Amino acid sequence: MSDNWVRACAIDDVDEEDVIRFDHNGQTFAIYRSPDDEFFATDGLCTHEKIHLADGLVMDDIIECPKHNGRFSYKTGQAKGAPVCVNLKTYPVKVEAGDVFIGLE
Ligand code: FES
């Protein structure tokens, strides 16, 4: 587990089955809230053409990129088919006192 937890947002900042963008130290992340009310974090940019995934669509455990409709599992980062073939990096998440933290290296 990480020892560098960074506050990304409040839990109420993210609707269920939605995603928001979070920038920190020049890096962009995407923070997801699943339909069963769990939080996840990945790199914020699609591995295909560096498009912001927070502008994409969340469906169940999938994030669909807004540019070419590439899909990833936001829980595992796994690329789910063309045109995306490089997995997304994922980050540990914890929720404490109404805030969402992501664990950075
Ligand atoms: S930029 Fe995301 S699928 Fe092409």
Global pTM value: 0.96
Give the least confident one: 6-10, 39-43, 80-84. Answer: 80-84
Report the CATH number that the domain containing residue 91 is assigned in CATH: 2.102.10.10
Total domains in the chain come to 1
The model's pLDDT over 86-103, given as tens digits with 9 standing for 90+, comes to: 999 999 999 999 999 999
Residues with CB under 6 Å of ligand 1 are 46, 48-49, 51, 65, 67-68, 70, 83-84
84 alpha carbon – ligand 1 mean position (Å):
7
Looking at ligand 1, which residue's alpha carbon is closest to its atom 1? 49
Let me know: does 15 contact 56? Beta carbons within 8 Å: no
Residue 81 banded pLDDT, cuts 50, 70, 90: confident
Structural domain for 63, as ranges: 4-104
Q: What is the mean pLDDT of residues 21-28?
A: 97
Determine if residue 77 is left, alpha or beta; phi over 0 gives left, psi from -120 to 50 gives alpha, anything else beta: left
Proportion of the chain above pLDDT 70, given as a percent = 99
Residue 24, CA atoms < 13 Å, CB-side half-sphere = 20
